[in-house]
Structure formats: C-alpha cells, structure tokens
Amino acid sequence: MSAAHLLYTSATWLLTPLAPFILKRRLGQGKEDPVRLPERMGITRTSRPKGHLVWLHAASVGEAVSLLTLVDRFRQSRPDLRLLITTGTLTSAHLMAKRLPADVIHQFIPLDSPAYIARFLDHWQPDVGLIVESELWPNLILMAAKRGVKMGLINARFSQSSYEGWGKASGFLKSILTSFELILAQDSDSKLRLEARGARAVHSAGNLKFDAPPPTAAPEQLEALRQAVAGRPLWLAASTHPGEEDIISQAHILLKKTFPDLLTVLVPRHPERGVNIGDMLDAQGLRVATRTVSYLPPEVCDIMMVDTLGELGLFYALCPIVFVGGSLVPIGGHNLLEAARLNCALLTGSHTDNFKEVIETFKAAQAIDIVENAEELAARIALFLKDEAQRTTQADRALQAAQDLAGVTDKVWAHITPLLPPPRAALTPVNLGDPN
C-alpha cells in the first residue's frame, strides 16, 4: 500500500463520524434528497433482486444520460441480468426517475467511507461494476475489486490536468487503475495518458454520449408553450454556469434593438442558482419569468428562466436556436448532441475540451458557430433570426453530424460482454414418459 493510499484510507475512516453533519449541510443547501439520505451512508430500503446483478455508476446528469443506450442494450441482449444504476447528484436522480425503465434500480452512491462502501457492497453484491468516465473513488473501486467484483471503467476521460494532478500519487492511481479488468477510453489521448499512469487492458472505443437519445418532451406541454410564444423570435441558452448568465443578458439587450419582442429562454445547469440569477437580471432592468412561478412565458417577459429539473428536452424542441453553456467560461462545455438531434441550430463558446471530437466533427461539417462574447453571440443569433434558410441548413448539418458520430454502444458492448456472467441456461423440458 502506497503512502498516498494509506493516508487516504486513514483520512476517510477518521472523517466518517463527520459524514452525517456533511450530509445535513448538503441537505440544507438543497443538494440531497431527505427521504433517500441513508443511501449516501450505504443504507437502503430496496431489496436486492435475485440473480446476477450488474452495477453501473455515473457521477451526474451527462454521464447518467450516456448510460441509457447501454441500459437498453442490456435489457435487449441480457434480460437475465438485473441492473443497478448509481449516481451522485439530486439532478441525476430526478432524471433517472423519469427515464429509467421500471425494472432498473436507481440508488445514490454512498460517500467514499470504507464503512459506507462495505454496507453498499454487502447489500447489493454486484457481479460486475462499470464506472463511467472519471469517477475514481478509491475505496469504492479497490474494495469492490477485492471482493471479486469484475470492474470496468467505461467512457473513460483522463485529461492532461488530471494526468498531471495525479503525478505525486501515481502509485496510488496505478493501484486504482489496475483494479479494472477493462478500460474503455473516450479518445486516443485519454488512452495514452491512462496507460502512462499504469492502466492495463485499455481500448479506445469512443464516447457513449454520441449515442445518447435526445431528451423527451410531453406533446401537450410543448403545444402549450408554442401557443404562448407564437409569433415571437426566441432562442435558448442551455446549461449555463456562473459568469455566462451576464453574457447571455448582454446579448439579449443587444438583440432587443432589432427584435423588440425577443424572448430568451435560460436554463441554468444548476436550477438552485435561479434566485441569484433572477436578482442579477432584475438589476439590469430585464423582465424575468420563472418556470416555477409562471408556467408559461407572459407577453411582457424578456427572459424565461427554467428553474426546474428534467425539462431541457422540452425547450430544445421549442427553440430553433440553442447556445450550449459551460463553454464561455472554463468548464469544458456540455453535450451538444441532444440539441443537434432535435434539429437545433447550434452555438457554443471556445471552452469545449470535454467534447473535442464532437466540436471537430461539427466544425468540419460547418454545423456549429463558436462565439467568444456577448457581441459575437448576439450577431450570430440575429443572423439566424433573420435568415430562416441558413438556420435550417445549419440545423440539418448538426443533425447529420450527430448521426455520423453514433455507433459507440456497439463497440462498448463488444468489449464488456466477456466481463458478464454467462447467460443462464434455458430450462430443458423433462421427458416424463408416456403416462399411459
């Protein structure tokens, strides 16, 4: 055991008595579900189903959505296996409640305390564990592998900053990475970095998010929104982060000079920020309606802020022009493919390191515009609002580019199949002979 490993394990044991207080604080911040809080300590009221169980873990919304096509493949190809999905955020739990099939179990992942992880593993006893992207919780992974759970890291993303950040604990990281019997990297750069840190059995399979289905929209809700905004020019700023809302508001103010009845739909990545965002917009003299108060945007509204969970698909379907956030500030960008598959003309900022391959594909297809500031954002939106043919052409290109990137699930399935328990043999009818 490396010094870093020993230090981490000791620290998590020592901090375990403080975990209830940490969770209580998070609960007060609206970051935990009060009913399901025990799950964060490895306690559950849900029974383990009989038979072989495959456990898949994703950190948050984007990673969880990427699992949906894989869940469908499991249910189609291996209906004998039971599925458990774990995530770590309230937003992802709400999303999974809406989009997972009824026979797939969702739980919150426990905090990375040895005591909590032991409870979790004792109860669920998974045969296989598949971790998504870069959710490398040491106790979770090392304890599961030690118990004989066949572990795989899929859709693995390992950035240069992560590679450098683990430099002083490379031995500890190697012990974590070698606990995986299979690692499927999103791209060749991640593959090379993982191998340089000691990972084995690494393959480059592409990004599961390339196959993620677009979010759904209830037809009656979509029709109500369309009637409420009929005749108004509108656009959507999706998954925004601190620092971006001010740029969005400045773009709206610039656009209003040409489009006085413009409606900007704003969907912050974290809805709990809605009050602070609303105060900032009010201070700029903008008339703001929130989804939780004004279910439909009123006529005198400048900004419609969607401070609810799980409705992004509805507003992608409503708005023909979409800016995808996390990209005007150094977050790394968010998934463009959902909006592309719903035939939206796309814009994003330049901070898109999380989706390099997507951006390169979309650039090559002339299917996206990169903007740096409010002036560039407003100018491009104005062009799309004035020229429907150009907007439609760019949306069509984006849809085609998204389709060209699909097919990753097939590659991932081929790699993970050897990890799975063998299918249960079909029961052979017993010949009881001629009763006569």
Catalytic residue IDs: 63
d(CA 351, CA 326): 7
117 is written with which tokens? Answer: 């992880």
**Helices 244-256 & 374-386 angle (0-180, nearest 10):** 50
Distance, CA of 175 to CA of 197 (rounded, Å): 10
Residues 6+ apart with CB under 8 A from 303: 249, 252, 263, 264, 265, 266, 281, 286, 287, 288, 289
Task: Please list the residues that pair with 238 across neighbouring strands.
Answer: 267, 324
User: Cα–Cα–Cα angle for 2, 189, 194, nearest 5°?
Assistant: 20
413 phi and psi, to 5 degrees? -60, -40
Residue type, 113: S
- Residue 198: CB partners within 8 Å, gap ≥ 6? 170, 173, 174, 177, 178
- With vertex at residue 92, the alpha carbon angle to CA 104 and CA 131, rounded to the nearest 5 degrees, is 65
The helix or strand, by DSSP H or E, that contains position 369, with its residue range, turns out to be strand 368-370
